[in-house]
Amino acid sequence: MLFDQTAEYVLLSNMAENMGVKPLIALIAIIIPNYNGEKTIGLCLKSIYKNPPDFPFEVIVVDDCSDDGSTEIIKKFPCRLIRLARRSGASRARNEGARNASGEALFFIDADCLLTENTLPAVLKAYRKHPDAITGGTYTPLPYDTDFFSTFQSIFINYSEGVRPPAKGAVPHQDKPDYIATHAMLIGKEVFKKSSGFKEDFLPIIEDVEFSHRLRRQGVRLVMDTDILVRHIFGFSLFKSLKNAFRKSLYWTVYSIGNKDLLRDSGTASIGLKADVVSLFSCILLSTLFALTGKSLYLSVLPIVSGVNLFINRRFLKALLRNGGASFFIKALLYYMSLYPLTVGFGSLFGALKYFTSKALGLYAQPHKGVRSP
């Protein structure tokens, strides 16, 4: 429902309009969905206006019925604030932002993402190079936070989405990504309009994956540009890191089974991570069999399984060492080989259970069908 003329929202005047200044037609429209983002939205907007580019741009923040103080923070910046009349989700917020944008191109980010001084110049350069494509950026290797779990996640996403080298003989990941994430998604407004926008009756997350796959089927090219970087604010603890891993793997599995691409090498759902999960559960199974039978053969296979996993993930492990240092690397290696894949594995199992249970009850529809038309 991208261009619903009856959509209920309140458009607040920006600071430029209050001063009687008529804004320029923007070349790039930065669209940010917000829901209770008072801890991050100020930092996000400050990062944009701290280093403004030398071309006209606009910032549109769409608030999804926040009940914290985030809207008061947003009003302090020269951006447009659209307030949805009822809680509708990030997809609706992004669609409303796109509908109200005057920019020739749309650049979607999240309320917990910070732009660097080079982000917007890289965005314009990428748009001029690929005006008819969906171009994606990724996180900086190191996040805004300095804690272990936030740093681990930022390096993992930066490597998986952006800098991961292709397998021998394969198409480079940057030239043919499986999806473009909405924490740094660039798309021409006309291309977006023709797409019908983000699906509003989809799963709670990974709507950007569905959007990317749908547009690729329509012939739109996906491109990854590693010059487009945003710094993410994670605020992760051990619990939040594992909760995020469980939730994403659950819904990713639900979607991937329905989309028949469960084994695809797909960004953060990479072959490396899948190998890591299989390796851990294989080691648990082999250890259990040894405990039950006493046969040392099962234990002798453990080093082989672990060695294969380390070999498959060797480039990611190098990225952990390169960006985090030796002390961080040791902790990250232990985490990546134990609790993290354990949680991802259980999330995937629950996702498979959710998919097949819903299908048996007739509650599941293919994720790429039923997109509302404009």
Q: Are 279 and 308 in contact (CB under 8 A)?
A: yes
User: One-letter amino acid identity for 32?
Assistant: I
Q: What's residue 15's pLDDT? A: 46
- Token duo for residue 113: 């993402």
- Residue 68 has φ and ψ, to the nearest 5°, of -110, -160
Contact predicate 355/262, CB 8 Å = no
Note whether 108 and 196 are within 8 A (CB).
Answer: no
Q: What is the pLDDT of residue 70?
A: 97
* Long-range CB contacts (within 8 A, 24+) of 40-44: 40/111, 40/112, 40/233, 41/70, 41/73, 41/74, 41/111, 42/73, 42/76, 43/114, 43/144, 43/233, 44/109, 44/110, 44/111, 44/112, 44/113, 44/114, 44/115
Closest CA to 206 of 164, 168, 154, 244: 244
Domains and CATH numbers, the chain: 9-235 (3.90.550.10), 237-374 (no CATH)
Dihedral-angle region of residue 280 (phi above 0 means left; psi in -120 to 50 means alpha; beta otherwise): alpha
Q: What is the value of pTM for the model shown?
A: 0.89
Position 365 scores a pLDDT of 52
Place of tokens 């549109």: 60
Instruction: Write down the pLDDT at residue 24.
Output: 57
pLDDT by residue, tens only, the chain of 374 residues: 443 333 333 344 344 444 444 455 789 999 999 999 999 999 999 999 998 999 999 999 999 999 999 999 999 999 999 999 999 999 999 999 999 999 999 999 999 999 999 999 999 999 999 999 999 999 999 999 999 999 999 999 999 998 655 544 444 445 689 999 999 999 999 999 999 999 998 988 999 999 999 999 999 999 999 999 999 999 999 999 999 999 999 999 999 999 999 988 888 889 999 999 999 999 999 999 999 999 999 999 999 999 999 999 999 999 999 999 999 999 999 999 999 999 999 999 999 999 999 888 876 554 444 333 33
